[in-house]
Structure 1
Amino acid sequence: MNDALTAAWRRAAGHQRRFDARFADYLDSLTDPAGGGLEIPGRGTFPARALQLVRELSLRGGKRLRVILLHEAAALVTDESVPGLDEAAISIELLQTHGLIHDDIIDDAPTRRDGPSTYYAYRRDFPDRPDTALALAVLAGDLAAFLAGRVLLTATLPPDRALAMAAVHADTAASTVAGQLLDLERDFHPAPDTGLLHEVTEYKSTRYSILAPLRMGLLAAGADLAPYDAELRRYATALGIANQIHDDWLDLFGDPQALGKPVGSDIRSGRRSYAVRALLAVCDGKERELVDEALGDPGCDEDTLDRVRGIARAHGVDRRLRADADHHARRAASQTATWRERWRPEAVAFFAHMPAWSITRDH
C-alpha cells in the first residue's frame, strides 16, 4: 500500500472515530428541546422509547463507510475543514437506520449489529401485542427518516448549500424506498435476470450508500456537480454492484461471528439474491429439490444450509460470485483514472482502492 493510500485509510479511521462521538452528541441533544432538540410529548413513554431505540441502533456498530465517503468526497476538492459534513453524515446515517429498521421488519430479522433488531426489541416489550410491536417498529423507522431530513435543514449552513444537500437527501430517500419496493417485487420472479438485480441494487443501496455521499461531500465543499455527475454515477453503480454481490456471497459463505448476524438469511427468506440466482441456475434433480425446499423456509436448519452451501461450492458458485464482484470492482476503479487530472491525488487514491477493499472485507 503506497503512502497516499495509507494516509487515506488513516484519515478514514479518524473520520469514523470523530463521527461516532459527534453522532452520539447529536442523538443526545434530541431530548433537550431547550437546546434545539426535538419536541416530543411530555406524557407517555412510547415517543421516548422510539428515540432510545433509534439511538441504540444508530450507535451500535456499522462500518460508517458513508461517513468516510462524504469526507473523502470533500477532500477531492480541498484539504480544509468543510462545514456541513457532520450534518450530512448524520443525515445519511439516520437514513441508514431507517432502512435497517424497516428491512428487519420485512425480513422478520431478530438481530442487527450484534444486538436485537428494533422490531424484536418491541416484540420483547409487547410479547402479547404483536400488532402493537409491529406498528411501533414502523413508526420508529419513520422517525429516523424524518430526523434524517431535519438535521440538514436545521444546520448552520448557507441556505443555498443546505437546500442543495437536502434536495440530494430527499431524492435519495425516495429512490431508496422505490428500491425496497422493487426488491420485494423481485422475489415474485422465480429467477430474475441480472439486469433486474442490478436495478434493485442501484435503487435500494447504491444511491444512498455511495452516490449520495459523493454528491453531498462535493456539494459541501462548494463543487459544481453538473460536469461530473455522469461519471460519479458510473463509479457508484459499478461499486454498488460489486459490493452487493460480495454481501450476497457473505450471506451464504461468510462467518457469522465476523458479520455480527446469522448467515443464510437470503435462503431462509426466499430472496432472489445474486447468490441464490447463481445457485438456481446450476442445480437440478435432487439438488434442486433440496434448494427449493430450503428457499423461503424460515426454519431452515444449519445442516440443510450446509448442504445448500456444499451444492453451491460443488458447482463453483462461490468462485463465480467472487469473479463477478471483482469484474465490477475493476470497472469502478477504472472510473477514477481521470480524476487525478482535476482532483487532489490523496483523496483519489482512496476512491481508486475502495472497490478492491469492498470485495475482500469479512463483514
Structure 2
Amino acid sequence: MTPTAAAATEERLAAHRHRFDAAFAAYFTRLAATFDTPPHSRFTPQCLDLLRELSLRGGKRLRVVLLYEAARLVTTDENPPGLAEAALSVELLQTHGLVHDDIIDDSPVRRGGPSTHHAYRHAFPGHDRTALGLAVLAGDLAAFLSVRVLLDADAPAPLRQAMLDVQTRAATDAIAGQILDLERDFHDLPDAELLHTVTEYKSTRYSVLAPLRLGLLAAGEDPAPHDARLRRYATLTGICGQLRDDHLDLFGDDDALGKPPGGDLRAGRRTYALRAVLAEAGPADRAVVEAALGDPGAPPETLDRVRDIARRRGTDARFRADLRRYAERAAAEAAEWGGWWREEAVAFFTHLPLRIAKDVT
C-alpha cells in the first residue's frame, strides 16, 4: 500500500467511525426515551444501559465502514434511504454477538471494560444464575433491536424487506457458525477447510458480505448480479481478518486486543494460529501446547512458552506470510471491480485488506 493510499484509507476509516459513533449514541438516547419499559422495572433500564455502554465503548466499526463504502461504490450520496438504519442494525447485531460470545467463553473483559455477563455478576453477587439469565436476555434484546431498527427505517417497504432478508440470513448463519465453532474444538487438529467454514459462517457472512449487500441495496443497486465477486472478496477478507485476530490473540497485548491475550489458548480453541503451532511442533513442544489448551489458569509464562515455540519453529513467520497472501488476493479481487463501480470506492476496498494485515505483517 502506498503512503498516499494508506493515508486516504485511514482518513476514510476515521471519518466513518466518527460519523457512526455519533449516530449510535443518538440512537441509544432515543431508545432510552421511547422503549416500552415495564412499570416498576429496574432491570430493564439497567439492561439498556449495559448494551449502550458496551456498544459505545469502542470497536473498529469495520462492518459500518464496509457498509458505507459499499454504498459509495454506486453513489456520492452520503445518506441514501436505509443506510443509517442498516449501519445501526449491523452494529446492534455485533453487540448481540459480543454479549453471547463472552457468556460462552466466560470472558471477564471486552473492549477494555467488563463484559456484560461479568457486569451482571458484579451487580448481583451470589446470584450467578440471575446474572447469566440477564446477560443472555441482554444479548437477545440487542439481536431483536437490530431487526426492529430496519423495520422502522425511513425507506421504501421493498428496500426494508430486502435489508431484513439480508440481515436475518446473516444472523442465522452467524449462530450456525458459533455452533460449528464449538464443534471444531472437539477435533484434535482441525483441517484448514473446517477452519475456513467456521470463519465463513461465524464471521464472514455477517461481518463482510452482509454489509456489502446492505450498502449496495441502500444505494439502489441490486447485489444479486454481483454475488459471485462479492462472495470471493468477502471470503478472502474474512479469512484475512480471522487470521489477524487469531495472531493477535496469541502474540498481541492488552492494548491491541482490549482484553488480555491468550484467551483462545485458555479456552481450548483450536484457532488458525494454535492449529498451526500444533501442526508444526515436535512431540515435546506439542505436549506443552496441549497442556495449556483449555487451562483457564494458564499464566503469562505459559503463553510466552507457546509463543517461543511458534517463533523458534518459524510458525509465526509462515503464519504472517499466509495472512499477507490472503490480503493480497482480496486486494486483487477488489481491484477488478472498476468495470462496474466508482473508482474511488473501489480503491478503498482494494487497500482495506492490506490495512487489516498491516498490524501483523
TM-score, structure 2 normalization = 0.96
For residues 110 and 211 of structure 1, do their structure 2 counterparts lie closer, same or farther at Cα, with a shift above 3 Å needed?
same
Matches within 5 A, 1:197-208: 197-208=195-206
Partner of residue 47, structure 2: 50
2: CA distance between counterparts of 1:130 and 1:337? 51
Deviation at 1:27, TM superposition (A): 0.9
SS at match of 1:318: helix
Partner of residue 346, structure 2: 348
Letter aligned with residue 67 of structure 1: V
Does residue 1:29 correspond to 2:27, yes or no? no
For residues 78 and 8 of structure 1, do their structure 2 counterparts lie closer, same or farther at Cα, with a shift above 3 Å needed?
farther
Partner of residue 15, structure 1: 16
1: CA distance between counterparts of 2:297 and 2:6? 45
Deviation at 1:267, TM superposition (A): 0.7
Check conservation: 2:99, 2:135, Cα contact below 8 A: yes
Partner of residue 246, structure 2: 248
Check conservation: 1:192, 1:277, Cα contact below 8 A: yes
Does residue 1:65 correspond to 2:62, yes or no? yes
Letter aligned with residue 339 of structure 1: W
Partner of residue 173, structure 1: 171
Partner of residue 279, structure 2: 281
Check conservation: 1:186, 1:272, Cα contact below 8 A: yes
Matches within 5 A, 1:154-173: 154-173=152-171
Does residue 1:320 correspond to 2:313, yes or no? no
Partner of residue 293, structure 2: 295
2: CA distance between counterparts of 1:166 and 1:309? 43
2: CA distance between counterparts of 1:296 and 1:74? 43
Deviation at 1:176, TM superposition (A): 0.4
SS at match of 2:225: coil
1: CA distance between counterparts of 2:315 and 2:130? 42
Deviation at 1:338, TM superposition (A): 2.3
2: CA distance between counterparts of 1:21 and 1:32? 17
Deviation at 1:2, TM superposition (A): 6.6
Deviation at 1:4, TM superposition (A): 6.5
Partner of residue 226, structure 1: 224
SS at match of 1:266: helix
For residues 4 and 341 of structure 1, do their structure 2 counterparts lie closer, same or farther at Cα, with a shift above 3 Å needed?
farther
For residues 348 and 101 of structure 1, do their structure 2 counterparts lie closer, same or farther at Cα, with a shift above 3 Å needed?
same
For residues 37-67 of structure 1, the C-alpha deviation after alignment (integer angstroms, 9 at most, x for no partner) is x212121211111111111000001011111
Q: In terms of mean alpha carbon deviation, does 333-342 or 270-279 score higher?
A: 333-342
SS at match of 2:32: coil
2: CA distance between counterparts of 1:10 and 1:285? 48
Check conservation: 1:8, 1:350, Cα contact below 8 A: yes
SS at match of 1:39: coil
SS at match of 1:31: helix
SS at match of 2:75: coil
1: CA distance between counterparts of 2:269 and 2:184? 8
2: CA distance between counterparts of 1:55 and 1:47? 12
Cα RMSD after superposing both structures: 1.3
Taking every aligned residue pair, what percent have the same amino acid on both sides? 59
Partner of residue 337, structure 1: 335
Deviation at 1:274, TM superposition (A): 0.4
For residues 242-300 of structure 1, the C-alpha deviation after alignment (integer angstroms, 9 at most, x for no partner) is 11011111111112222211100111011010011111112233222211111100000
Deviation at 1:9, TM superposition (A): 3.7
2: CA distance between counterparts of 1:64 and 1:181? 24
TM-score, structure 1 normalization = 0.96
